[in-house]
Amino acid sequence: GENVEQHPSTLSVQEGDSAVIKCTYSDSASNYFPWYKQELGKGPQLIIDIRSNVGEKKDQRIAVTLNKTAKHFSLHITETQPEDSAVYFCAASPIIQGAQKLVFGQGTRLTINP
């Protein structure tokens, strides 16, 4: 089955700097890659996702890149702000009939220092 590895486990950056989180996956059948942000004591919220037919996607300060050949994808946050502090999870999933079975990475705790 699919296995997703996420690095780093913790990341601390100065406010205004950029943050990069990387994930690798094992199953070449995976073709949907979402990124979730989880604040303390809450459920994860989708912040951006990318499909396998796209190499890069951007939404304001957040961007995701995908390299299907190397089986890795990355989250880039530019001009970081204190409210970006949270735990971020990557996930991968094949597209199947019916439910979508996401496999999550272990998470990255991002701290933005003022």
Residues touching other proteins: how many (CB under 8 A)?
A: 28
Provide, rounded to whole angstroms, the least separation between the CB of residue 94 and other proteins.
10
Residue 4's nearest CA partner among 25, 30, 31, 28 is 25
In the stretch 9-48, what mask flags binding to other proteins with x, by CB under 8 A? -----------------------x-x-x----xxxxxx--
What does the per-residue mask of binding to other proteins show for 74-113, with x meaning CB under 8 A?
---------------x-x---xxxxxxxxxxxxx------
CB 56 within 8 A of CB 63: yes
Least Å distance, CB 21 to other proteins, is 13
- In the block, tokens 């996956």 appear at 25
What whole-number distance in Å separates Cα of residue 13 and Cα of residue 85?
10
Read off the tokens for 102: 């996401």
C-alpha pair distances (Å), 109 with each of 24, 48, 77: 17, 17, 14
Pick 13 or 87: Cβ nearer other proteins: 87
User: CB of 75 within 8 A of CB of 20?
Assistant: yes
**Residue 54 sits in the site that holds other proteins (CB under 8 A):** no
- Sites of contact with other proteins (CB under 8 A): 4, 6, 32, 34, 36, 41-46, 49, 51, 89, 91, 95-107
